[in-house]
Amino acid sequence: MNKNLKVLSLKYRPQVFGDLIGQEIISDTISNSIKYDKVPNAYLFTGIRGVGKTTIARIVAKSLNCIKGFDKICNNNLCDNCKSISESNHIDVLEMDAASKTGVDDVRDLIEFSRYGPSIAKYKIFIIDEVHMLSKQAFNALLKTLEEPPEYLKFIFATTEIKKIPVTVISRCQRFDLSRINSDELFKYIKKIKDIEKGAVSDDALKLIVKISEGSVRDALSLLDRALISLEDGEELSFKKAQKIFGLFDKSQLINLFKLIFEGKEKEVLDLYRSVFDQGVEPKVFLNDFLELLYFFKNINCLTFDGNQFSLNDEEYDQIKTLSNKIDQKALLLFWQFTIKTLEEIEIVLNQNLSIEMFLIRLIHLKEIINFDEKSKNENAIFQNDNIENKKKQDDLFDKKNKAIGQIKNMVQEKKLDEETQNQEKKKEIKINSFNDLLDLCTIKKEVKLKYELEKNVNLVSFDEQRIEISFNQDLDKEFVKILSSKLYEWTNKRWIISLTKKKGDLTVSQTKLNFKKELLEKTKKSNVYKNVIETFPDAEIIDVNLKIESEKNE
């Protein structure tokens, strides 16, 4: 351990496998591979932040290159190799941050450097942190060297995003998944360091640090460091002061808030929340703690709290268990949905505090849907109504309202059924005897897109009763058959068969009209009227022909 460093996470960084906590299986596996000279070409360490990925990478590098050998690896009195590796300046152990060197050129330089053997150590080792940040081209450039490196070359990768690494790279490495550190084990570890640093911190405050760190050793040490710095000489860090330092609040306040919400006391709820907000608690932190407590309310009967669980103390556990038996569990699920929705809302609201207050008011108004257990309806029950007779009157009023609403509902439903019957009769009256009838019906029903497809992209082969056969057309909409079948059933109340065939069909309606116009133009150009016009106006040119006028002339 480097006692000269002031930051706890660096000062107490493990130097050998024996110093690691929570990763015993991984330590034993790697130790055995080195001991029996079965070291893989590449190691891949993955896990959340602060569980020891880079630390284990350096320990592996020291285990392979220690002058004293693996069995007598340096711990306190470091040899030259171990000291240089610990300080990240060994000539044969290169540490690279893939977040800042992501390109293929950086990897090519690495490969070029790997062609030369180690200068002073046994192995040349490349430690690449956050390896998932490398580009696709960089990974591809690394593949061949990674699969068949020289005997003196070893790769050690570390990442928090294993899914972003190509499978071709993962398959060439020996993968180790580092787990979160057990709460009880992490508590004992930071308590030991607190004693070494001679800091006065209560066990409850240490448990709070463990809870916030979420199994990350580095986070726990950083929080402990922050807590110790905040203390005056001779002062002990209490649980309440730790809450203020880390921007948290007492969970018992949140339990009281739940109690007031179910009692429907709006003013008291808002006053209690504002006191929590004045403590410096962020709205998002408040909502996440609210979700956590909802989880405990819902699952308190199937949870066991032992030394590894620091989310609740015994008093809070008993309070939640007592209250949860008087609350309808379905209401808790509804509260959960409202809380998730509010978490999304506060991202777009300027004053997040107001959004939280409105959220709490909405929960209060939802209390009417909650049914309480019959056992809790006594004089001392929290949620008992003050006047039972008023409740009966309200029930009678609701019964009357329900009857009236039921009558109105029946009338509306009958009217709706009559309308549906009339629509069914209208559907039966609609008949489509030809393709032109179908086009006309599309116009009447204002189905513009469907009519466009029928005119532009449908080559009709045959049209019979409830059956239409058309030839293939690559421009036809993929959903055409489905849409046309649906509309025909809607209009005629009959099932139609729409089939595609390889037979050559008629020209589309648009093509037929276009060909007819061309023939009409050619015929017009041969007429005497056109010739007389050209003689009088040599620059004149016929562009279009009005079909209606032409049809009138034919008549």
Q: Give residues with Cβ within 8 angstroms of 317, minimum separation 6.
A: 300, 305
In a 10 Å sphere around its CB, with 0-12 CB exposed, 13-18 middle and 19+ buried, how is residue 467 labelled?
exposed
Domain residue spans of the chain: 8-177, 183-245, 251-376, 435-506, 510-554
> Which residue from 16, 31, 39 is spatially nearest to 174, judged by alpha carbons?
39
Q: Which CATH class is domain 251-376?
A: mainly alpha
Q: Where are the beta strands (DSSP E) in 294-412?
A: none
Averages of pLDDT over runs of 10 residues in the chain (555 residues) are: 66 88 90 90 91 91 87 80 86 87 85 86 90 90 87 91 91 91 88 88 86 87 88 80 77 83 87 83 86 84 58 70 78 86 86 88 72 43 48 52 51 54 56 85 85 84 84 77 84 83 81 82 79 75 62 44
Length of the chain, in residues? 555
pLDDT of residue 231: 80
3-state secondary structure of 426: helix
> Which residue from 414, 491, 507, 495 is spatially nearest to 457, judged by alpha carbons?
507
What does residue 382 show for φ and ψ, rounded to 5 degrees? -70, -35
What does residue 22 show for φ and ψ, rounded to 5 degrees? 80, -5
CA distance 239 to 237: 7
CA dist 426 → 41, 152, 364, 422, 491 (Å): 78, 87, 51, 6, 9
Q: Which CATH class is domain 8-177?
A: alpha beta
- Topology of domain 183-245, CATH: Helicase, Ruva Protein; domain 3 (1.10.8)
End-to-end CA distance of the chain, in Å? 108
Q: Residue ranges of the alpha helices (H) in 370-508?
A: 388-429, 435-444, 448-456, 480-492
Q: In what order do the strands lie in the sheet with 124-129?
A: 93-97, 124-129, 153-159, 42-46, 174-177
Amino acid sitting at position 126: F
- Other CB atoms within a 10 A radius of the CB of residue 256 amount to 15
Question: Could you say which DSSP state residue 133 is in?
Answer: G
Q: How far is CA 254 from the centre of its chain?
A: 27
CA distance 458 to 509: 8
pLDDT of residue 156: 93
Scored b (16 or more CB within 10 A) or e, 94-127 reads bbbebeebbebebbeebbeebeeebeebebbbbb
Question: Which residue carries 């058309």 as its tokens?
Answer: 470
Q: Of the CATH numbers 3.40.50, 3.30.870, 3.30.300, 3.30.9, which one belongs to the domain with range 435-506?
A: 3.30.300
In a 10 Å sphere around its CB, with 0-12 CB exposed, 13-18 middle and 19+ buried, how is residue 399 labelled?
exposed
* Tokens matching residue 94: 């290169």
Cβ-contact 58, 116 below 8 angstroms? no
Handedness of CA 540, 542, 547, 552 (dihedral sign): positive
Q: In what order do the strands lie in the sheet with 497-501?
A: 459-464, 467-471, 497-501
